[in-house]
Structure 1
């Protein structure tokens, strides 16, 4: 038998080998890839609090709302997910805010804050809890109400440069002196339409002090010179009007025996109800605690 050996059989071999090698390349690449890292089902913060993470698709409309966990310093909380501002739980880094509906101060119905309209935003009382290993809550409040190093001559960042008023609803007001603010910034060359000299950009303070004279509660509200708050009332429900902006308050206080600083945001007109709002924010924290461990003794505070 005559052997066919004109080189074509060798070429066919190389073509076949190349085709086979190309077909195997994706398989080889897959084989070289490291195994996919498993999804972390828990997350532990710097204070040692470990929470269960929510993984996979989330359903904000689930009713009844499932419990979701959150950490505030060493404290583990568990709340129905519709209490959360996003109505699905914490963010990926563990941060979170709660949202209650005024006037009931109950959570919004499941899914009700998705594509949040202005009407519901107006009725929102937002709560945040904070914890620090560096400063105590009272130190944070004190730093909030003192002059920052970058603007030591600010006419609105210290008690002495504000107008002290008569007690209002159990709090001592320190009103921003808008005439002084305007003179200060105009003297530095600011134009008359600079946001810094508008009443909407400046806050009045309503304060309480402890027996040692330290700030224990600070409510910072849109200046009283902002006559139109940006909303009207229909019964006990706020309704947005045509004015740009909204007059709001940021209310900071400390939960006793927990070293937790709380911030509650609400409409300026609700300031007379600050005690009710503070009590509700405190009760939610205490009632939702899974663990009540205090920081270990000797930890810098």
Structure 2
């Protein structure tokens, strides 16, 4: 089935979107517009059906066998690779890929769905948190940092964590490493409920990559890359969206959310 005209128009417009603070895609050669005969594969997410281009899928084949839907685009244009090109084929494509996991959320009331992201920054049972959850998995126990790009960073209180670790495991074991505990970046809505939760490699670890001419490139001599797991809701379709990408592009989180929302709207099957 052909790609809808609205999707073609939308994807073509993406090449003009600013992609990084101080940079724009104009420094890069624009990607070719999508082929109007490009194959599409339908995906069913709850009661909704979407018609995504085949090459937009993570494996370029369609939904997973269990019905799961994962998409894959490249930074900075937020466009998929051509059909037949695997993002694993080159280091450049690999470090510039952004995975987009679309999940339905079932058996929740409207209020439970709205509060879903709050459950990701509190203990599994808020009334009976475990000792480790009190230190690591409770937003209120973390150290609140600066707010930047609409996100507030919350870091593990390492002094409390070290005390917990020594009390639990003793002094004869290897001490805890701050780099093993993600920083949380949270955007709170007007009603006090989180609308975006992003968990990233802590700032104690450098990015390991940098932006050059809009693309993400490795920094020589750095073996680790800092990454983020970014989650938000799309209420009109009852979806939980999870993105994975290098931390260096975290400031563009709103651009990525907008891309997902517009893509869903453009590919919604009539």
TM-score, normalized by the shorter chain, greater than 0.5: yes
TM-aligned CA deviation for residue 250 of structure 1: 1.2
98-107 vs 127-136, which deviates more? 127-136
Q: Give the 3-state SS of the residue equivalent to 1:243 in structure 2.
A: coil
Gaps of 5+ in 2: 1-34
Quote the residue 1:73 is aligned against. Answer: 46
Hey, what's the Cα distance between the residues in 2 that align with 1:185 and 1:244?
28
TM-aligned CA deviation for residue 114 of structure 1: 5.9
Which of residues 158, 174, 190 in structure 2 aligns to 1:192? Answer: 174
Cα separation, partners in 2 of 1:281 and 1:246, compared to 1, 3 Å: same
Structure with bigger RCO (C-alpha 8 Å, 6+ apart): 2
**Does residue 1:143 correspond to 2:119, yes or no?**
yes
- The aligned runs of 1:224-239 (5 Å cut-off) are 224-226=203-205, 228-239=206-217
Cα separation, partners in 2 of 1:235 and 1:151, compared to 1, 3 Å: farther
How many equivalent residue pairs? 225
Hey, what's the Cα distance between the residues in 1 that align with 2:88 and 2:116?
34
With normalisation by structure 2, the TM-score equals: 0.75
Hey, what's the Cα distance between the residues in 1 that align with 2:234 and 2:46?
13
TM-aligned CA deviation for residue 257 of structure 1: 2.6
Q: Is the radius of gyration larger for structure 1 or structure 2?
A: 1
Deviations 1:124-150 (A, max 9, x none): 111111112223443321211111359
Quote the residue 1:276 is aligned against. Answer: 255
**Does residue 1:214 correspond to 2:214, yes or no?**
no
- The aligned runs of 1:230-249 (5 Å cut-off) are 230-240=208-218, 241-249=220-228
Kindly indicate whether the alpha-carbon contact (under 8 Å) linking 1:218 and 1:253 is maintained by their aligned counterparts in 2: yes
Q: Give the 3-state SS of the residue equivalent to 2:264 in structure 1.
A: helix
203-212 vs 144-153, which deviates more? 144-153
155-164 vs 243-252, which deviates more? 243-252
- The aligned runs of 1:79-94 (5 Å cut-off) are 79-94=52-67
Kindly indicate whether the alpha-carbon contact (under 8 Å) linking 2:200 and 2:228 is maintained by their aligned counterparts in 1: yes
